[in-house]
């Protein structure tokens, strides 16, 4: 009887040792981040249009709803752009508009059905707004600054109230997109280092969001957005000096192609500096990296491998993943609040825009040229 007890005990100990050894050799359990803890985001503004053009997204070889794919791989936030009245899209999309309020409504609904948060990107233009383009909507052309301020306020408030009626209020909202040189040109353009008109227009948009929040359960966090880390500190200092202080998140675009701050340790130091100096959340709201030097269509790629500033990361699936992991690590370890990849689902398709057919970004998407999911997404479930 004693021998039997001893044998059972021995077997138990051996089993436990084997179990512990097996556990140690297995990879760490992946983590699913909550957006309020750390934003793992994707801008899916093009998806509705790409699907309407006939493209199919696949995971494990099977056609799958792209919003389901992004939720599955760890995305907790979907970003979507809104243009004021993009009638120019009708000429490229069989008479249909995209990135208007109704298209945005569809995108937000799809995101929220998957339990993901939303960042709404107001361009305050009928078309692309970026450091070199901030064209005033056609409906607002020629208005005085005073009337433009009122237009920004009412437009922002009306958009949010419409989404509230649909139970689609975004958790975050950008008051402008890549506003390095102002907004609503020429009235809000920064000329001769004069930020006053730009600041006044931003304040109108900010006030609309805050006034809306007084009657909304979801109170959108406000993002101000500047392109490239090297421009951020001076830009923010100028706005703050003009009284723009009521916002929640300093949003940055970071692309190696246009950045002079590409060393990852230096990026981490900048994130710490911004967070300490401004006492706001810091997020990279746009970034990307190519996984191939090839082109799937005749639409020239924006991120091409001849760029000299591509750095130490190889143009490959592994290089894309390495870049994203290291950038996210620097954000996470230095107090940043999130990262959003710009248009990871802009795959090649018969979709047309004003410059080409297909995609200028398919070599930087999360999918191969046949719509199959790649491996870059694994960075979103790493433990940092």
Are the C-beta atoms of residues 301 and 288 closer than 8 Å to each other?
A: no
Q: Structure tokens of 7?
A: 């044998």
The three-point CA angle 288-293-295 to 5° equals: 95
pLDDT digit string, tens, across residues 201-220: 999 999 999 999 999 999 99
Q: Residue 43 pairs with which residues in a beta bridge?
A: 79
CA separation for the pair 290, 186 (Å, rounded): 35
Structural tokens at position 339: 């990262």
pLDDT score recorded for residue 14: 38
How much is the pLDDT for 26?
A: 37
- Of 105, 100, 172, 180, which Cα lies nearest the Cα of 137? 100
Q: What is the pLDDT of residues 59-99, one digit of tens each?
A: 999 999 999 999 999 999 999 999 999 999 999 999 999 99
Report the relative pairing of strands 249-253 and 117-122 from DSSP bridges: unpaired
Q: What residues of the chain score a pLDDT lower than 70?
A: 1-29, 305-311, 376-377
Q: What residues are annotated to the active site?
A: 178, 286
> Tell me: the pLDDT tens digits for 288-338?
999 999 999 999 999 876 655 566 788 899 999 999 999 999 999 999 999
Q: How far apart are CA 188 and CA 134, in angstroms?
A: 9
Dmax (CA) for the chain in angstroms is 98
Give pLDDT, residue 307.
Answer: 59
Q: What angle do CA 97, 175, 362 make, to 5 degrees?
A: 50
Place of tokens 């390095």: 180
Cα(first)–Cα(last) distance of the chain, in Å?
Answer: 52
Extended beta strands in 109-220, E state: 117-122, 172-175
Domains (ranges, CATH) in the chain? Answer: 40-381 (3.20.20.80)
CA angle in degrees (0–180, nearest 5) for 28-32-33 = 120
Give residue for tokens 């699913």.
32
């Amino acid at each position: 009887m004693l021998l039997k007890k001893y044998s059972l005990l021995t077997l138990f100990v051996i089993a436990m040792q084997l179990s512990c050894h097996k556990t140690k050799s297995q990879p760490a359990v992946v983590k699913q981040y909550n957006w309020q803890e750390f934003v793992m985001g994707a801008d899916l503004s093009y998806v509705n249009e790409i699907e309407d053009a006939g493209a199919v997204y696949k995971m494990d070889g099977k056609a799958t709803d792209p919003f389901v794919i992004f939720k599955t791989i760890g995305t907790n936030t979907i970003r979507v752009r809104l243009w004021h009245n993009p009638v120019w899209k009708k000429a490229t999309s069989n008479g249909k508009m995209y990135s208007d309020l109704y298209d945005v409504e569809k995108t937000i609904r799809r995101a929220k059905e998957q339990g993901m948060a939303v960042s709404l990107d107001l361009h305050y233009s009928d078309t692309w707004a970026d450091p070199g383009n901030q064209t005033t909507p056609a409906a607002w052309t020629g208005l005085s600054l005073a009337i433009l301020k009122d237009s920004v306020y009412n437009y922002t408030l009306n958009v949010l109230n419409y989404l509230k009626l649909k139970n689609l209020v975004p958790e975050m909202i950008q008051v402008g997109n890549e506003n390095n040189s102002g907004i609503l040109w020429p009235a809000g353009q920064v000329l001769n280092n004069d930020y006053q008109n730009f600041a006044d227009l931003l304040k109108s948009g900010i006030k609309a969001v805050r006034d809306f929040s007084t009657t909304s359960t979801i109170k959108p966090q406000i993002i101000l957005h500047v392109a490239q880390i090297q421009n951020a500190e001076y830009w923010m200092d100028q706005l703050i000096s003009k009284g723009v202080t009521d916002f929640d998140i300093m949003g940055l675009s970071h692309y190696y192609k246009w950045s002079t701050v590409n060393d990852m340790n230096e990026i981490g130091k900048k994130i710490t500096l911004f967070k300490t100096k401004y006492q706001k959340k810091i997020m990279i709201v746009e970034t990307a990296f190519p996984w191939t030097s090839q082109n799937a269509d005749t639409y020239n790629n924006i991120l091409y491998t001849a760029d000299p500033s591509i750095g130490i990361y190889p143009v490959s699936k592994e290089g894309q993943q390495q870049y994203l992991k290291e950038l996210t690590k620097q954000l996470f370890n230095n107090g940043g609040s999130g990262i959003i990849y710009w248009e990871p689902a802009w795959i090649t398709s018969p979709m047309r825009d004003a410059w080409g057919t297909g995609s200028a970004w398919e070599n930087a998407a999360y999918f191969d040229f046949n719509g199959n999911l790649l491996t870059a997404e694994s960075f979103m479930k790493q433990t940092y």
